[in-house]
């Protein structure tokens, strides 16, 4: 493949080096992760799509751009596009959730990073304390108020997600916002002053009214919808009857691997945790 040509998201190289300082020249090999609202811009090539490169944004003047780093030496940029912009022929936009499995894992991860940085840049143009226009710092991903010196880092919201086991069964719940029939494991945001383990205990107690033990770290996943870091844990049921919190949980129950309901897509750590549990010899 010509290194200066379009790149097929399904076969992207896998070495990404984050960066803040952009090269002086934006080469034709540069990859663009450009968003119109929450949707990623793609070039169509027959039945497939590719990420725009170099000069592939001729009619779309970005509101703001940000350097992301390099993918196998190719500069990567994010771009915020005007919502009222008209798409050139041969281009389309698609929601990021729908692109899991269409984009490679590397492209999906960089696109998620791009979206979060775009949102941070867009919402921190002015100081939240004194309303002075902020300035991007040259050597790190921060904005600084030149008047009161307040510094703004990209927003990151830590959230725990937990798989609760009771012998061969796992606890799944339906939030009111889920599609009809969809169940998943419990999750919730970390509150100030809490450890992650304390958040797991509190969220389980609040959402379904049971007690747990043996809390163990499973893994994590950045989740750019809009700016979460999902931190996964497993735990074991101790006591209590499932009592769904009515404002958040429509239903909750124990399920075995043989009677699973509709569960989240493979894009999520929730699915990875459920698949792990199903693989166990229980």
Is 227 annotated for ligand binding? Answer: yes
Is 226 annotated for ligand binding? Answer: yes
Is 223 annotated for ligand binding? Answer: yes
Dist. CA 52–CA 34, nearest whole Å: 8
| Dihedral angle computed from the Cα positions of residues 87, 88, 92 and 93, in that order, rounded to the nearest 10 degrees | -30
Is 233 annotated for ligand binding? Answer: no
| Cα–Cα–Cα angle for 179, 184, 185, rounded to 5 degrees | 155
b (16+ CB within 10 A) / e for 107-123: bbebbbbbbbbbbbbee
Is 76 annotated for ligand binding? Answer: no
Q: Would you report the helix, strand and coil content of the chain in percent, each value rounded to 5?
A: 20, 40, 45
Is 187 annotated for ligand binding? Answer: yes
Is 202 annotated for ligand binding? Answer: no
Dist. CA 65–CA 62, nearest whole Å: 7
Is 248 annotated for ligand binding? Answer: yes
Is 137 annotated for ligand binding? Answer: no
Phi, psi dihedral angles at 33 (to 5 degrees): -110, 85
Is 74 annotated for ligand binding? Answer: no
Contact 77, 65 (CB under 8 A): yes
Is 148 annotated for ligand binding? Answer: yes
Dist. CA 111–CA 224, nearest whole Å: 9
Is 228 annotated for ligand binding? Answer: yes
Tokens representing 157 are 């919201």
**DSSP letter, residue 96:** G
b (16+ CB within 10 A) / e for 69-103: bbbeebbbbbbbbeeeeeeeeebebeebeebeeeb
Is 67 annotated for ligand binding? Answer: no
Is 169 annotated for ligand binding? Answer: no
Separation in Å, CA 224 to CA 109, 157, 175, 271? 9, 10, 19, 16
The closest of 125, 111, 115, 273 to 185, measured between CA atoms, is 273
Is 221 annotated for ligand binding? Answer: yes
Is 13 annotated for ligand binding? Answer: no
Q: Which residues are annotated as a binding site for Zn(2+)?
A: 127, 130, 145, 148
Q: Which residues are annotated as a binding site?
A: 97, 127, 130, 140, 145, 148, 153, 187, 203, 207, 221-228, 248, 270
Q: Which residues are annotated as a binding site for substrate?
A: 97, 140, 153, 221-228, 270
Q: Which residues are annotated as a binding site for a divalent metal cation?
A: 187, 203, 207, 248
């Amino acid at each position: 493949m010509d290194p200066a040509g379009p790149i097929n998201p399904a076969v992207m190289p896998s070495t990404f080096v984050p960066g803040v300082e952009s090269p002086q020249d934006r080469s034709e090999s540069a990859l663009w992760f450009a968003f119109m609202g929450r949707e990623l811009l793609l070039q169509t090539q027959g039945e497939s799509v590719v990420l725009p490169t170099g000069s592939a944004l001729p009619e779309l003047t970005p509101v703001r751009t940000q350097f992301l780093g390099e993918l196998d030496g190719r500069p990567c940029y994010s771009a915020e596009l005007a919502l009222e912009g008209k798409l050139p022929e041969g281009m389309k936009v698609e929601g990021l959730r729908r692109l899991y499995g269409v984009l490679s894992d590397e492209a999906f991860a960089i696109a998620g990073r791009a979206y979060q940085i775009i949102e941070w840049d867009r919402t921190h143009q002015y100081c939240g304390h004194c309303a002075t226009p902020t300035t991007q710092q040259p050597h790190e991903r921060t904005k600084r108020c030149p008047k009161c010196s307040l510094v703004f880092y990209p927003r990151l919201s830590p959230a725990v997600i937990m798989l609760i086991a009771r012998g061969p069964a796992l606890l799944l719940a339906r939030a009111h916002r889920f599609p009809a029939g969809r169940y998943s494991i419990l999750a919730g945001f970390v509150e100030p002053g809490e450890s992650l383990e304390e958040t797991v205990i509190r969220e389980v107690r609040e959402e379904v009214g049971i007690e747990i033990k043996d809390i163990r770290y499973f893994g994590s996943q950045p989740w750019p919808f809009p700016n979460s870091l999902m931190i996964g844990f497993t735990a074991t049921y101790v006591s209590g009857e499932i009592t769904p919190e009515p404002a958040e949980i429509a239903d909750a129950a124990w399920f075995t691997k043989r009677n699973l309901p509709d569960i989240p897509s493979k894009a999520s750590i929730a699915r990875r945790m459920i698949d792990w549990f199903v693989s166990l010899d229980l």
